[in-house]
Amino acid sequence: MIVQGIDVISVESLVKRFGDFEAVKGIDFSVTRGECFGLLGPNGAGKTSIVKMIYGFSPITSGKLEVFGEDIMLRARSIKSRIGVVPQEDNLDPELSVLDNLLVYAGYFRIEKHTARQRAMEIMDFMDLSEKSAQVVGDLSGGMKRRLTMGRALINRPELLILDEPTTGLDPYARHMVWQRLRRLKEAGTTMLLTTHYLEEASQLCDRLIIIHRGEIMEQGTPVGLIDRHVGKEALILGGDHLLRESLSAGLTELIKASHILGDDLVLFTDHGRVLAERVGERARELGITLDYHRLRPTNLEDVFLKLTGETLDNIQKGF
Amino acid sequence: MAKRSNLLKGMDTFPDLSWPLVLSVFYRNLKVFGKTWKASIMFNFVEPMLYLWAMGFGLGVYVTRINGLSYIEFLAPALIASSAMFSTTYEMTYGSYTRMGFQKTFHGMVATPVSMDDVVMGEILYGTFKGVLYGMVFFLVVALFGLVKSPWALLIPVPLALMVMIFAILSLIWTSIAPNYDSFGYFFTLFVSPMFLFAGVFFPVENLPPGIRFLPWLTPLYHAVEAIRPMVLGRVTWSILADLTWLTAFAALTMRIPLAMVKNRLIQ
Ligand SMILES: Nc1ncnc2c1ncn2[C@@H]1O[C@H](COP(=O)(O)OP(=O)(O)OP(=O)(O)O)[C@@H](O)[C@H]1O
Ligand SMILES: [Mg+2]
């Protein structure tokens, strides 16, 4: 059954149009077995549109899309039996208990009753929901529902797990718990496609990721690779008057990898944080400028994301 | 009219059905029904009871015999059909719309090996089941009043099932294009209530003005009443077969439509 070397998901020139509106504008990527692949991008970028095509909910407009080496539209039932889906919006059965939700869902995969029960127990244990087994889902908290949705997606022991913003609405503790569970699934060989707005989540879980903006791929790579390429090791954040700050960084270009303005702050990205901080401090004294504050911190994926998507937003505003 | 052709897209293809999965969808609805039936059966039950009392025992006193029957004898068997009709229609409009939209139940199902055709067929089965169940509960009441005169009455699940299946189909068609809950008001006002009033439940259709006397013949409720009334009263004739044929043909000919239309509504 498991064919080595074949991509679990393979996407070429994929386009999705809703009426006249093109939500996905010809993108390419592939996900290999055992990998966790991230789809990042601002609201409306087209992540959910892509994900829905991959699990066969919405038909592709043009391009090529293969899951397990087959066309999802032609082999929907057999492919879907090997996938687990955590949709962006919960669709649990609110009138039923936690356990019944899992059992009913198992029925859709034609899992035999005894096995279904056993797996339901394991899943409730795995997702920390055993205590709530008999509780009606309508009475669960939002975060618990989310965990149940995720657990439900595991009922068929999927080879491919598709997660559309799985941890939205979870408290930090629950989020870390979920990350840990997902890592365990990954170790067990599950391939994952993950969309998220938590860049920390993407860094923690994803082997590779693409950043999508307005239906197009802006960047792709490993989390570390992207950080390295775009923002370097550290970020120096300067608060204070805009124009004066600009003059501070003038002449230090060899140290600065990139910069952008975020709200009221100027953020300078660099591989030589300490040196840059000292030099900026010196210049501030020379020029008699008082900085409200300056702060050095390690860079993260969020910096890459904000820099890239921010640039495009700027360009769009400027009419490019 | 590009929009119109989109609504019916896929009508000419064979539906993608897996019967075990259709049953799993049916089972899901049944399971939810199992949690709420006590309250819901009461509601669906009270209304025909009120009609039976008000019309049968109240108004009926003033009505001379219809075709040799007392008014309550005439009315009670027909209320079995109409109470089944209402329960299916409510379930396949408000109920299905909630599962389709607000709860996104259908979305959850089709992320599994279940196809959209399985989902809608499971809904039709469930709507049919519920109608027959409620019809038969009302049948018991009618029997308790001593109004069941013949063992032929044991066959009424047949016309009931055919009729409520048609109402499941028609309701789901409406549901598939309903923009919001309010629109179901029109469905009831325009189709369901007129049928209830004029399709031979309360008075023989021969009493309608000659020009529109054919209209009830076009409705499923009329044919169900025409079959159920003689069964309950023990006046069975061959003409029942014509009514059953009409119902079967109507169900068979329209079954494909909601499958296509719900799918076209959800899958974009
Ligand atoms: N059924 C639809 N009909 C018309 N437009 C749609 C439909 N579904 C999505 N869109 C549009 O496609 C674009 C991409 O939406 P999508 O849901 O894929 O974004 P997303 O990246 O998942 O965003 P978010 O982070 O907010 O979930 C949006 O502009 C959205 O309005
Ligand atoms: Mg989304």
- Which tens digit of pLDDT belongs to each residue from A173-209? 889 999 999 999 999 999 999 999 888 899 889 999 9
d(CA B190, CA B180): 17
| pLDDT given at position A238 | 83
Yes or no: say if A161 and A185 are a contact pair by the CB < 8 Å rule: yes
| pLDDT given at position B121 | 98
Yes or no: say if A270 and A255 are a contact pair by the CB < 8 Å rule: yes
Instruction: Give the pair of three-digit tokens for residue A106.
Output: 């198992």
* Planar angle of CA A115, A117, A122, nearest 5 degrees: 95
* Any A CB within 8 A of B30 CB: no
d(CA B54, CA B52): 6
Residue A58 alpha carbon, nearest atom of ligand 1: 1
| pLDDT given at position A319 | 44
* Residue entry with tokens 């124009």: A243
Yes or no: say if B186 and B141 are a contact pair by the CB < 8 Å rule: no
Residue B11, burial from CB neighbour count under 10 angstroms (0-12, 13-18, 19+) = middle
Q: Does the C-beta of A199 come closer than 6 Å to ligand 1? A: no
> Which residue of B26, B112, B118, B263 to mutate against A (max A Cβ within 10 Å)?
B112
Which residue ranges of chain A lie beneath pLDDT 70?
A: 1-5, 240-246, 311-320
Give one word for A193, left, alpha or beta, with left for phi > 0 and alpha for psi -120 to 50.
beta
| pLDDT given at position A51 | 96
Helix (H, G, I), strand (E, B) or coil at A206: coil
| pLDDT given at position A306 | 84
| pLDDT given at position B132 | 96
| pLDDT given at position A318 | 47
Which residue ranges of chain B lie beneath pLDDT 50?
A: 1-2
d(CA B218, CA A284): 89
The interface pTM score, or ipTM, of the predicted complex is 0.90
Yes or no: say if B221 and B163 are a contact pair by the CB < 8 Å rule: yes
Set of chain A residues whose Cβ sits within 8 Å of the Cβ of B113: 76-78, 80-81, 108-110
d(CA A68, CA A2): 9
| pLDDT given at position A161 | 97
| pLDDT given at position A259 | 82
How many angstroms separate the Cα of B94 from the Cα of each of A85, B65, B261? 27, 39, 17
Instruction: Please tell me the distance between residue A44's alpha carbon and the centre of ligand 1 in angstroms.
Output: 5
d(CA A13, CA A29): 9
The one-letter code for the residue type at B185 is: G
- For the segment B142-195, what is each residue's pLDDT rounded down to a tens digit? 898 888 989 999 999 999 999 999 999 999 999 999 999 999 999 999 999 999
B81-100 residues touching A, CB cutoff 8 A: none
Helix (H, G, I), strand (E, B) or coil at A97: strand
* Any B CB within 8 A of A57 CB: yes
The one-letter code for the residue type at B65 is: R
